[in-house]
Structure 1
């Protein structure tokens, strides 16, 4: 926005934050805000950087900044209260888990505080959660800092997750291989551990793969032909439709570290639009080559 910069937003935070949250302290030079929470004699506080809300405000008209700042500040306090509760369930660092979801899922569904996530190619992202009992709670950037989970010696949520799905074995369904476990959203992370769980992805042409559900990954050889590709497209579409843990209805060509989307028609039944490199090439005799037949 013309005429505005980071310092303008920080000045507004410093002016308004103590009104909404009495007792909070804004350090404009360090670009931080200290917020408190608790009940009775049990009072806690945390110092949080304001970079996230500054960036968000700079993308909006200035008249919308106050509502954004208030929502973010109140969400930060709620994150602090949640961080306090999570310690009651044991070592938070060891309870981290990661889910592979469609790219943009976090932006579409997140609240005022951004999720802790890792980009994963052009089509997916890895979002970090905390397992609390039977519940997976989304970990935010703010709460990760409050819990000290960004420190170098803290276990990786990706490693913890891959250890939990290392025993998955593919099941065969009419030429389609399926990695699946009921009610286990961690299965989608099999794509991240493709060297161990999807070794076929690094052989020859690789695999055509779908992640219709967080609990299901399906694939077949990429060069298996149109019929197999269409069967996979139908299987993925059927598995995705109405699933409580939907991930992606699309197909992808995974070869080593490269993943590209394979279009699927909206016809009934759907069919895969294979790239030329995966279509069978007819063998031509010398006579056909010479005479163009």
Structure 2
């Protein structure tokens, strides 16, 4: 149910109901915005928020559910304003932004009435933006991002801020597999994003087979290292993912430069990676990989 007529009807419902739930809020139907306020006592604040998100949500559900959708969204927007006010007390919010790589769809499955600030990352992952407040990572929503002015060009990139924090990570060998891990650090998953500095082998030869079983763990091996090592990687990813408090993805991927392709893994015990023919070793490729790795290590 989409289109100008339906959107106009949604706007009319918002304009009629919003002042009843929140006396003093102002709906501008022409600009498709609402001004909401919050605060305690003499400290009162307000913000003008665009209505596009809630209009789109209403367009996706029957009209009899519009009222509950609108009320939940407006109450969430007011709560976002209160949170934005609180976050200013902890210092520069822009510098405290962080980004996490999570499974595609994670935000949609777990978000509340207000959409998260996120960046799609290929077909399998997305990058969700958070604000670090003490030891806590709070999800940053599109609404709060606007309230805090974090969309301005001079504001630091949350992606770069996260990559700076994990720049000191070095892979540790685990039975032939390279593992990046830092306990209780969910930023480690972002290593997949920085293939030029952290996951440099992804740009060498045929790239790498990689898994992100936990937000705090990235495991990989050369893509053309052979079936045995690929299977060990699949086993490591499965074991690390199972029961982890910070699960990310149980899957295996072939990363070569800017290309990321999912590699099927059988449900057998132990699991087995189903390698594409182009990754199956040949004598020439084995020697070529050896030479490239020697050059890479110099």
Smaller-chain TM-score range?
over 0.9
1:1-293 maps to which residues of 2 (within 5 A)?
1=1, 4-281=5-282
Work out the CA distance in 2 between the residues paired with 1:27 and 1:143. Answer: 20
**How far did residue 282 of structure 1 move?**
7.3
Aligned pair count? 283
Q: Normalising to structure 1: TM-score of the pair?
A: 0.95
Work out the CA distance in 1 between the residues paired with 2:153 and 2:2. Answer: 39
Work out the CA distance in 1 between the residues paired with 2:108 and 2:13. Answer: 25
- Point out 4+ residue stretches in structure 1 off by more than 4 angstroms: none
Q: Deviations over 1:104-159 (max 9, x none)?
A: 00000000000000010110000000000000000000000000001111111011
Q: Secondary structure at the match of 2:55?
A: helix
Q: Mind listing any 5+ residue stretches in structure 2 that lack a counterpart?
A: 285-298
Indicate if the aligned counterparts of 2:221 and 2:229 stay in contact, CA closer than 8 A: yes
Q: Secondary structure at the match of 1:197?
A: coil
Q: Normalising to structure 2: TM-score of the pair?
A: 0.93
Indicate if the aligned counterparts of 2:187 and 2:215 stay in contact, CA closer than 8 A: yes
Work out the CA distance in 2 between the residues paired with 1:60 and 1:262. Answer: 36
Q: Deviations over 1:8-31 (max 9, x none)?
A: 111111111001111100000010
Work out the CA distance in 1 between the residues paired with 2:267 and 2:194. Answer: 31
**How far did residue 274 of structure 1 move?**
0.8
Q: Mind listing any 5+ residue stretches in structure 1 that lack a counterpart?
A: 284-293
Q: Deviations over 1:200-238 (max 9, x none)?
A: 101111000000000000000000011000000000000
Work out the CA distance in 1 between the residues paired with 2:142 and 2:101. Answer: 17
**How far did residue 281 of structure 1 move?**
4.3
Work out the CA distance in 1 between the residues paired with 2:104 and 2:111. Answer: 13
Q: Secondary structure at the match of 2:87?
A: helix
Indicate if the aligned counterparts of 2:192 and 2:199 stay in contact, CA closer than 8 A: yes
Indicate if the aligned counterparts of 2:2 and 2:59 stay in contact, CA closer than 8 A: no
**How far did residue 7 of structure 1 move?**
1.5
Work out the CA distance in 2 between the residues paired with 1:11 and 1:155. Answer: 39
Work out the CA distance in 2 between the residues paired with 1:254 and 1:5. Answer: 44
Q: Secondary structure at the match of 2:16?
A: helix
Work out the CA distance in 1 between the residues paired with 2:281 and 2:205. Answer: 14
Q: Is the deviation greater in 266-275 or in 102-111?
A: 266-275
Work out the CA distance in 1 between the residues paired with 2:15 and 2:82. Answer: 22
**How far did residue 275 of structure 1 move?**
1.0
**How far did residue 280 of structure 1 move?**
2.6
Q: Deviations over 1:29-86 (max 9, x none)?
A: 0100000011111111100000001111111111111110000000000000000100
Work out the CA distance in 2 between the residues paired with 1:66 and 1:262. Answer: 45
Q: Secondary structure at the match of 2:81?
A: helix
